[in-house]
Amino acid sequence: MCAPKSSLAFLVALAALAALGRQGRAAPARHVRSVELADALNRTVCPIRVEIDEHADRVPRRIKMMKCAAEPSHWCRAHLPAHECCQRRHGDHLLECVEMHDSVLVYYKSSASTATYDVAVGCSCMVVHSSTAPAVPKGPT
């Protein structure tokens, strides 16, 4: 049995309104849990030491460096179960604590010049050997 044309038109209009409503709404934002630096330093699998790199002629004058602690694997063996990260094997993968770096654009007042500066931004447990990742955008040049 066929539905009357008015019912069919109503259903089409209702579907169109529903589609418009979905387009107008932003997708729900995923909540990324954030942690204060002091708390993160106490809870990370790969221990981090924080250093302040200070140079009076540079802008910014102070840059916070987040480096892997000396011998992070030694710390892990002493404090974590054998199956956790830090020079441990998970199946075919060997994991280790690796220092991550990024470039920051800085300005030197005395020479009125800019330069890129290498900054340690953290220490993370990573697979020692893996396939090549897609290109990552470069920092300031």
Domain boundaries, the chain: 37-127
Residue 95 contacts residue 126 (beta carbons within 8 Å): yes
Residue 116 has pLDDT above 90, yes or no: yes
Predicted confidence at residue 14, as pLDDT, reads: 47
- CA dist., res. 121 & res. 103, Å (int): 10
More confident residue, 17 or 97: 97
Q: Which of the given ranges, 26-35, 54-63, 85-94, 129-138, has the highest pLDDT on average? A: 54-63
Q: What is the pTM of this model?
A: 0.58
Least confident of 13-17, 51-55, 73-77: 13-17
Q: How far apart are CA 120 and CA 106, in angstroms?
A: 15
Residues 6+ apart with CB under 8 A from 141: 116
Confidence of residue 38 (pLDDT cuts 50, 70, 90): confident
- Greater confidence (81 vs 26) lies with 81
What is the C-alpha separation between 118 and 109, in angstroms, rounded?
19
Q: Does residue 114 carry a pLDDT above 90? A: yes
Q: Which two tokens stand for residue 19?
A: 């589609």
Token reading at 132? 């090549």
Question: Token digits for 104?
Answer: 């920051």
pLDDT digits (tens, 9 = 90+) for 124-134: 888 776 566 67
CA distance 123 to 119: 12
The dihedral sign for the CA sequence 69, 75, 79, 80: positive
Share of residues in the chain with pLDDT > 90 (%) = 30
- Compute the distance between CA of residue 86 and CA of residue 45 in angstroms, rounded to an integer: 8
Identify residue 89 by its one-letter amino acid code.
R
| Helix count and strand count (H, E) for the chain | 3, 6
Instruction: Assign domain 37-127 to a CATH class.
Output: mainly beta
Residue 31 has pLDDT above 50, yes or no: yes
